[in-house]
Amino acid sequence: MRPSRHRMVYAAGALALMSTLLTASPAAAVPSLGSVPDAGHLSVDPLMRHLRALQAATDRGGGVRAPGTAGFTNSAGYVESVLTAAGYQVREHHFTFNYTQVLAARVRVLPDGGDEQIQVINYTPSTPVGGIQAPLAAVPVDATTGCEATDYAGSDYSGRIALIRRGGCSFTVKQRAAAAAGAIAVIIYNNQPGKVYGSLLGPTDGVVPVGAVTQELGERLVAAGPVRLELEVRQVIQTRETFNILADTRRGDPNDVLVVGAHLDTIPESPGINDNATGVAAVLTLAQLASHAPVPRKLRFAFWSAEEWGQVGSGAYLSTLDAAGLAQISGYVDLAKLGSPNYIRGVFDSADVDGSGGVTGPAGSATIENALIQGFALQRLSWKPVDLGGLANSDWLSFLSAGVPISGLFSGTEDLKTASEAALFGGVAGVAYDTCHALLCDRIDNVNRQVLEQNLRAVAFGLVVLETAPCAGGQRARAPGASRTPAGPFGRLA
């Protein structure tokens, strides 16, 4: 069949973008679009330049990029300067949110135990300064531990600290049920190796102080029998204003927008170079490469704020869009933590490609996921699906909730690497993917340059695949009056 004029134009656009991507390095060799035998030679150097600039901006502002800090403002200024120099018209989207910061987090067995690590559950009520002292009472384990009133019927929890295994219901439900049984505080322990990071539903949902400990510590406390604890969990909650940064390619169909995003903010305890300056650097690099590319689909590059407080920035942005504006967004690619030292090469499993039956994204997500998978396949690299129901929450969650097809890349945070992952990717089993996650040591020397470069190549070539591949998903509603142009080089995602 003779190719249509549209398809010839789009193929030419894909070739031009492929050439742009590959000539980013002097050693580049343009592969055949028919087979694309390798993933080219995109260099990690521009990402490292961005990382060094972001670390310097963060350091000048006090060492973190929490929203409302000078570190965030400095870093946002750098992002905007790069985008402006590349020819973009930059937009800021301002919003307010409930900022929280940990003031104290410790637990110890009385009378002479040492302080043990505990995570403060976001929006928890605070203990008094110095903490509280009370007996510990473990809730019996079942499929929904501590979720129902009947879980507390067999023991006296009045005036005690309830120790509850994670799982079966939200932290909000667990602490309310424990408080109704008379508990004056709650400690949730993990149901798998690693730390627990979590939140109550909102700042008014807390009834008693809530913290979380590892599975190992929780099981040790259960085995210790009747013990008395000193618990201190305190945080500040205040309203702050911050902003997202957005920039669109000048070319491309405004009724067919692919958003590529990463969060710029950090928690108040870390400079966040892997989490998530690596994602920011990748989005900046892609924006620079795409600034003059002939893209039929419009690309929107997004740098979110307040992600660490529950994907607030991306959710706030999406809430400003009417039905027509939302329908113009045909997909979202999330880039989160791309340089973990003990890494995995993870692709968000928005289409359940491994058949595990996990959470899946809206129709059309398979096209994005498979394109990113091809980005690794073109490099002859292994990868693994990352379950959307796991701990790797980021701004993709806001888009998924809004019905937008999603996927993204992820190299791991606080979870421990499994033996099978070590066999697949190398590294050390039983050690966290990133031992500096959420700590002061998450600086540029914490970043694995090799996997960072591999992730850049994967997403860059994933975008090229999306440009050239036909649609492989359902059909999302289009904006009223939207054009019906055929699939372009970034391909309709749905």
Active site residues: 307
- How many angstroms separate the CA atoms of 297 and 312, rounded? 27
Indicate the DSSP class of residue 293. Answer: S
Q: How far is CA 114 from CA 44, 117, 162, 206, 229, in A?
A: 44, 10, 20, 28, 11
- How many angstroms separate the CA atoms of 127 and 230, rounded? 11
CB 51 within 8 A of CB 327: no
- How many angstroms separate the CA atoms of 122 and 298, rounded? 37
In the Cβ-directed half-sphere of 134, how many Cα atoms lie within 13 Å? 23
CA neighbor of 43 nearest in space, from 68, 59, 23, 60: 23
Find the length of the chain: 494
CA neighbor of 139 nearest in space, from 166, 106, 117, 111: 166
Which residue's entry shows tokens 């933590």? 337
Q: 86: which residues sit within 8 A by CB, 6+ positions away?
A: 287, 288, 291
Indicate the DSSP class of residue 275. Answer: I
Indicate the DSSP class of residue 436. Answer: T
218 bridge partner residues: none
How many CB atoms within 10 Å of residue 332? 30
- How many angstroms separate the CA atoms of 492 and 494, rounded? 5
Omega within 30 of 0 (cis) for the link into 342? no
Which residue's entry shows tokens 């009056």? 481
- How many angstroms separate the CA atoms of 153 and 66, rounded? 43
